[in-house]
Structure 1
Amino acid sequence: MKKFLDLLKEKIVVFDGAMGTNLMAQNLTIDDFGGANFENCSENLIYTRPDAVINVHRAFLEVGSDVIETNTFGGNTVVLQEFGIADKAYDVNFKAAQMAKNIAGDFSTNEKPRFVAGSLGPGTKLPTLGHISFLELKENYREQVRGLYDGGVDLFIVETCQDILQTKAALAAIFEFFEKQRVKIPVIAQVTIETFGTMLNGTEISAALTALEPFPIDVIGMNCGTGPKQMTESIKYLCENSPLPVSVLPNAGLPEVKDGAMFYDETPESFTKQVLHFAQDFGANIVGGCCGTTPEHLRLVVEQVERLSPKQRNANLVPSASSIFIQQPYMQDNSFLIVGERVNASGSKKMRDLLEREDWDGLVSLAKEQEREGAHILDVNVDFVGRNGEKDMHELVSRLVTNVKIPLMLDSTEWQKMEAGLQHAGGKCVLNSTNYEDGEERYLKVLELAKEYGAAVVVGTIDEEGMARTAEGKLKIAHRAYKQATEFGFEGHDIFFDPLALPISTGIEEDRRNAAETVESIKQIRAELPEANIILGVSNVSFGLNPAARVVLNSIFLHECVEAGMNSAIVNASKILPLNRFNEHEVEVALDLIYDRRKFAKENDTDVCTYDPLGEFTTMFQGKTAQSMKVDVSNLSTEEKLKHHIIDGEKIGLEDNLKLALEKYPALEIVNDILLDGMKVVGDLFGSGQMQLPFVLQSAEVMKTAVKF
């Protein structure tokens, strides 16, 4: 007899419809449920009215459904505890699975096999909002998973997911069971997109796909929440972007109460027409129904989809990280992926001070500031001597996930701290980092952690001999790590290589080529491992220089690395400037320093340095502050000052100059002839790579302020 996944390749598979709706249609009384304590506990009907559950299963099998779901939507111990029967979790699920399997067996033939999906619902507590911890929720799914499997289900369906972290907890319980028992059956994960266009916690469908795709699930889809009409755009997105088969089980429309009863507005005909559209035009592989759908709805669906073959889809998965809100592509249009570095105790004094005071609100504000400055991902590091890092990570990440829209990069030398953060993050994080310094065991431990929680990983070019300093050494480690990671099950796009930016500011001979070797290694890694990402903590290159010199060197080094093929950097966006802000001599000397273009002359058979860019660069910025790097516009005309406000993203003095301009020109003329001219320069700089996205956003914000004025 065919297996479920084989059937999925051959036809559009049809699931059953609503369990609850069709139980209530049998006019069950409170006594049927087992008394007042069990009102609406359909799982208890396994004991009190098993015939009512069998009636629903049989009705959907009779109309031709390929798969029926067990009556275990609320069968985890969290829900059963509310009815005082948590101790029966295994038995409830075992009996429900056995019952469904027996009746499915009565209808199953070689020509038309029938299957049973073990239903795992969301429960009543959202871990992202702190109602229950990730580990507690995972524990509460364990007995349900064991009972359903032992009862004979053919597959698991984690459905009606309203919180991605809850989905991950259920999947963690399933995959842990598979590993311990050395078994495997198919797994479906389905999210619920509400009428307002996201999951209950605000998760967009793209973010949900990004968060769930790394897990070894077999199907991803949607159910409940709305009718098919409201699901159209989300299902279209999944079918266009998911490399996995897609399922769609809508409600029979949006419910309303009529004459004291729940009414759904989709008739079998209107429901089927839309579901058929999902399969025929979008390429949905599984269709079925949720709340309000009856055997009559599914009878027509079965009749109509029988004539269809699965549509070939050319899914275009966007390699990304995600928060519980949004997807963040690794490859940014006309920019690099900016990882904000200020919520990092290793490099930010302000962060350390806030952490020491346990000012969690202050830390959240610091994170939001990074987001406003243009960071795409937020680096989070709580490594601080004398503190409990795991506790700090729990405290901080539990707040960040609901207050910051961008994804997180969990940064630590200790995997236990990264795991503490992962237990709060419903989105797809990046782990920073792993390497071979302590041998393969630790390298693989972080890979294992990333795989378990569905994260991407940063790999530093460090091996048992220490940090690789040459391009050749960095590339060799990258090849070794890439081979092991892909064999471990990672996609190339979920691997970030950090070829390490080491200081070139020490004057020590062995440090002179640190930057040049890093730039060369970026070129080689990009050429030989094109699917991987390349990331750097850019500011390390200028360690020890004064703040003004650091801004210039960091900005120019960043530009060189991006030109070489780096697509991500850990930076403080406010401490990076576009190249147009520097004069030619500053750029020239910085490049000489980066590529170690010292000049030597022979004196008494000895090479004597006649030009040292490090000395030149240091002298150039002696006594200067980062603030003094601003362009002096005091002698410019009002018109030119306004253009510089736009180009430099500078709001200070903007209103005064606008008032002066309004004395000479109409408002519309100022916008069209002066301000837009400034934006044109911004566009040209952006297009030529001299200005990065955060600065464009700053300019746009100044433009918006000026127009509003």
Structure 2
Amino acid sequence: MSVHPLHALVASRVLVLDGAMGTMLQRLDLQEDAFHAPGIPEATSQQGNNDVLCLSRPDAIAAIHRQYLEVGADLISTNTFNANAVSQREYGTETLVYAINRAGAAIARREADAFSTPKRPRFVCGSIGPTGKSASLPPNADDPAHRDIRFRELAEAYRTQIRGLLDGGVDVLLVETVFDALNAKAALYAAAVEFEARGTVFPVIVSASLASADRLLTGQTVEAYCAAVAHAPGLLAIGLNCGFGAAQLAPVLRRLKGVAPCHVSAHPNAGLPDAFGGYAQTPEQMRWELEPLLRDGILAIVGGCCGTTPDHIRAIAGAVRATGSPPRAPQPPAGAAFSGLERLDIPSGPHPLVEVGERTNVAGSRRFLRLVKEENDAQAVETARAQVAAGAAIIDVNMDDPMLDAPVAVRRFLARCAAEPSLADVPVMVDSSNWETLVAGLECLQGRGIVNSISLKDGEAAFLRQAREIHRLGACPLVMCFDEKGQADTIERRRGIAGRSYRLLVAAGIPPEQIIIDANVFAIATGIAGHDRLAADFIDAVRWIKANLPGALTSGGISNVSFAFRGNDALRGWIHSVFLHHAVAAGLDMAIVNPAAMIAYDAIPAECRRIVEDAVLCRTPDAAARLAELAVATMATAATPAPSPSSAHGRVDTAPPQERLKRAVATGSASGLE
């Protein structure tokens, strides 16, 4: 697919976006009759439904576009901010969505073409608003699992809007005023599906609105939002608009520039609103606030939102001409990024192990399965919170059980987790062997998550189909070393499948840093001699992946390695610690573990550590037998009394009652109050 010329143009000079459409329409003081035309319901008041003016008063919309083009706008936005079925349902005009968008795009296209010259082309942005509903936030705090709208309904509504915009002739899709990244991800998903159907990728700008100093309404930081939407097809810019004026947005835009994989845009309000909701900032004041960002190369696209007029855009265009320098090239951090409400960066170089909490898995925890079956949401969520409190940077969620409706269960649990700040902060790994369940989980995540897992088991076509869908849904695939012949259990097979999977994914457009490879952790010391090298081969495979598959991350489910010694928690902890010590040294990036049960490598008695190390690395012929002898000697440790239930970490909470109460209020957890 060809690259749109805007991508080259925006790298060479700052582009000026237009200002507010709503502000200009308010000045016209249009009455009810202006909002009606053949096909628009007469029985329902349409006043205030500005989008239908594309059908009833195209002359008024065209005149506003002309005013912005005359003062120097390179890009003008269609009058379609609320032209989606969700928003138009209020007016009974949802059946007109396609017509409104096509008409709005055609109006802007005609005006842009009239002002375009070979040296100064003008472009049309298709404005796509957030709707008035959130896919991430419950409308009622007493029912945290309920949502007014789901991802699929949003995606379907956005698809119709996008079809109309593209058919009407827009150059760019502008997903703007994002207050919930999950809504934006639904729009980006719809765009990706429509682009694929057309065989053309159009440029996309994603712009969020802040509700506080540096967070969206959902509580997501600007860095986490950037990670959540960075998969957008044809991504031209990520930015901020509305919410605040340029002065308030400036420090956050600088932070965004430091993490964005693309250019940065801004179309702030004309300052902060006054007591009556008006905007009094002058064009000169707005120019003065934006100039430092332009001088420093932070912005590639700049315009105005609420309260801005052609006079403001004239001043901004003057600032762009006066500055004269192109925007700085994007320089995102090297490595991978995931997010919940907060961002998790995994650098490309050496870094501490990223722990993925394993206890929210119905297949691995009988207690968690019971809580989910009983719909004991509070305690199920507490299980996840304990994992995060113990050090998990990501939580693995698995609902695969024959007695559960897994897609329903995963949606319910993730919705409850999203309502808990300490859990909503961290990324989620959706874990299932069922494709429907994986998709159901991804459609709940406002951040960038992980799918555990896909493989070549069913062939390349199925593998790539799933990988592309995961990417469209804004997540990263974890690939198991499993192909049409079965699981890889030798170093040669691990290398072969890992390399083949990586090459297929990169060729399909999946960035290398968004590929996670699990080289298969198997049990050692099982009594079968052929199993003795399985841990050492995994470590060697990790080392090979990091050396030969640039950018790829590595992962593993660590508890498998000690499965032969289930019931002997002390020995299993030592095996996990030694195994991780060497795997991390080889380049292991993340591991699925119980962080509350982790044991420091140096805390293992020296002689015991040597025996375990011999077995993990398969250093001596009798290593497995000596490990079995050690298991017998340590069985007494396995009978240690269970930790007090009053502590999420397995330690008795000795803090004073007042201190425990304060902590419970801050975290929303009743743990420790017994």
Tell me if TM exceeds 0.5.
Answer: yes
Matched, 1:248 2:266: yes
Which residue matches 2:613?
A: 591
> What is the CA deviation profile of residues 242-287 of structure 1, one whole-angstrom value per residue up to 9, with x for unaligned ones?
22122111111111135xxx43242111211222222221431101
Q: 1:339 aligns with which of 344, 356, 362?
A: 356
Identity of aligned residues (%): 34
Partner of 2:22 in structure 1?
20
Task: Say whether the 8 Å CA contact 2:178–2:184 is kept in structure 1.
Answer: yes
User: What is residue 638 of structure 2 aligned with on the other side?
Assistant: 625
Distance in 2, Cα, partners of 1:202 & 1:356: 30
Of residues 405, 408, 417, the one that matches 2:428 is 408
- Structure 2 Cα separation of the partners of residues 46 and 212 of structure 1: 29
> Are 2:629 and 1:616 aligned?
yes
The equivalent of 1:5 in structure 2 is 7
How far did residue 228 of structure 1 move? 0.5
CA distance in 2, matches of 1:406, 1:323: 6
Q: Secondary structure at the match of 2:120?
A: coil
Which residue number corresponds to residue 74 of structure 1?
82
**Which residue matches 1:426?**
446
Residues 449 and 417 of structure 1: CA distance in aligned 2, closer, same or farther (over 3 Å)? same
Deviations 1:577-632 (A, max 9, x none): 11232211111111122123445xxxxxxxxx6993223221221222264899xx
Indicate the SS of the match to 2:525: coil
Is the CA contact 2:116–2:122 (under 8 Å) kept in the aligned structure 1? yes
Instruction: Indicate the residue corresponding to 1:272 in structure 2.
Output: 287
Quick check: which has more Rg, 1 or 2?
1
Partner of 1:490: 510
**In the aligned structure 1, how far is the partner of 2:618 from the partner of 2:52?**
76
- 1:354-391: CA deviation from partner (whole Å, max 9, x where unpaired): 22223233221211111111100000111112332222
Q: Where in structure 2 are the equivalents of 1:185-334 lying within 5 Å?
A: 185-216=202-233, 217-258=235-276, 262-307=277-322, 308-317=324-333, 319-331=335-347
Does the 8 Å CA contact 2:524/2:564 hold for their aligned counterparts? no
Q: 1:505 is matched with which residue: 525, 528, 532?
A: 525
- SS at the partner of 1:250? strand
On the 8 A contact 1:551/1:575 being kept in 2, the answer is yes
1:468 aligns with 2:485: no
In the alignment, which of 38, 49, 61 is matched to residue 46 of structure 2?
38
How many residue pairs match? The answer is: 626
In structure 2, how many angstroms separate the alpha carbons of the residues matched to 1:387 and 1:370?
A: 23
Alignment-derived partner of residue 387 in structure 1: 404
Single out whichever of 621-630 and 551-560 deviates more from structure 2: 621-630
Matched position secondary structure for 1:224: strand
Say which of 369, 376, 380 aligns to 1:359: 376
Q: Secondary structure at the match of 1:450?
A: helix
Q: Contact 2:263 / 2:329 at 8 angstroms: preserved in 1?
A: no
Separation in 2, partners of 1:348, 1:551: 17
Q: Which moved more, 1:480-489 or 1:240-249?
A: 240-249
Matched, 1:480 2:500: yes
Aligned to 1:219, the other structure's residue is in SS state strand
Instruction: Tell me if structure 2 keeps the 8 A contact 1:107–1:114.
Output: yes
Whether the aligned pair in 1 keeps the contact of 2:51 and 2:80 (CA below 8 Å) is yes
1:13-62 Cα distance to aligned partner (Å, 9 max, x none)? 10110111111122333444458712321112234433332332121111
How far apart are 1:537 and its partner, in Å? 0.8
Aligned partner letter, 1:312? R
Deviation at 1:319, TM superposition (A): 3.5
Partner of 2:666: none
Q: Once structures 1 and 2 are overlaid, which stretch shifts more, 170-179 or 42-51?
A: 42-51
Displacement of 1:142 in angstroms is 2.3
Change (3 A) 1:651 1:369: closer
Task: Determine if contact 2:266/2:301 at 8 Å carries over to the other structure.
Answer: yes
C-alpha separation in 1, matches of 2:288 and 2:480: 53
Rounded to whole Å, the distance in 1 between the matches of 2:651 and 2:413 is 32
Cα distance in 2 for residues equivalent to 1:568 and 1:518 = 14
Q: Which amino acid aligns with 1:50?
A: P
Give the corresponding residue for 1:699: none
Letter in 2 for 1:218: L
Deviations 1:371-423 (A, max 9, x none): 11110000011111233222222222232233222110011122221101011
CA distance 1:509–1:53, shift in 2 (3 Å)? same
User: After alignment, is 285-294 or 274-283 more displaced?
Assistant: 274-283
Q: Distance in 2 between matches of 1:356 and 1:511?
A: 36
Alignment of 1:472-621 (within 5 A): 472-545=492-565, 546-599=568-621, 612-621=625-634
> Aligned equivalents of 1:593 and 1:371: distance in 2?
31
Change in CA separation of 1:629 and 1:122 when aligned onto 2, cut-off 3 Å: closer
**Greater CA deviation, 217-226 or 369-378?**
217-226
Find the aligned partners of 1:428 and 1:264 in 2 and give their Cα distance: 36
Sort the Cα spacing of 1:340 and 1:113 in 2 relative to 1 into closer, same or farther, 3 A: same
Counterpart of 2:367? 350
The normalised TM-score by structure 1 is 0.84
Letter in 2 for 1:275: L
Task: Please tell me whether the aligned partners of residues 615 and 623 of structure 2 are also in contact (alpha carbons under 8 angstroms).
Answer: no
Amino acid at match of 1:248: A
> Is the 2:126–2:173 contact (alpha carbons within 8 Å) kept by the matching residues of 1?
yes
* Alpha-carbon separation, structure 2, partners of 1:413 and 1:47: 49
Give the equivalent residue in structure 1 for 2:663. none
**How far apart are 1:322 and its partner, in Å?**
3.4
Would you say the 8 A contact 1:589–1:616 is kept in 2?
A: no
Return 271-280 or 64-73, whichever deviates more.
271-280
Q: Match for residue 108 of structure 1?
A: 116
What are the superposed Cα offsets for residues 451-480 of structure 1, whole Å, 9 maximum, x if unpaired? 211211111122222222222321222111
Label 1:143 to 1:52 Cα distance change in 2 as closer, same or farther (>3 A).
same
Partner amino acid for 1:254?
L
Taking the aligned partners of 2:627 and 2:201, their CA distance within structure 1 comes to 60
1:151 to 168, 175, 199: 168
Match of 2:669 in 1: none
Q: State the TM-score, normalizing by the size of structure 2.
A: 0.88
Determine helix, strand or coil for the equivalent of 1:257: coil
SS in 1 for 2:635: coil
Taking the aligned partners of 1:377 and 1:651, their CA distance within structure 2 comes to 22
- What is the one-letter code of the residue matched to 1:11? R
| Contact residue 321 and residue 429 of structure 1 kept, 8 A | no
Matches of 1:346 and 1:195, distance apart in 2: 40
Question: Within 2, Cα distance between the matches of 1:149 and 1:313?
Answer: 28
Does the 8 Å CA contact 2:253/2:298 hold for their aligned counterparts?
Answer: no
- The answer (yes or no) to whether the contact 1:215–1:451 under 8 Å persists in 2 is no
Contact 2:532/2:624 (8 A) holds in 1 = no
Change (3 A) 1:610 1:87: closer
Asked if the contact 1:206/1:326 (under 8 Å) is kept, the reply is yes
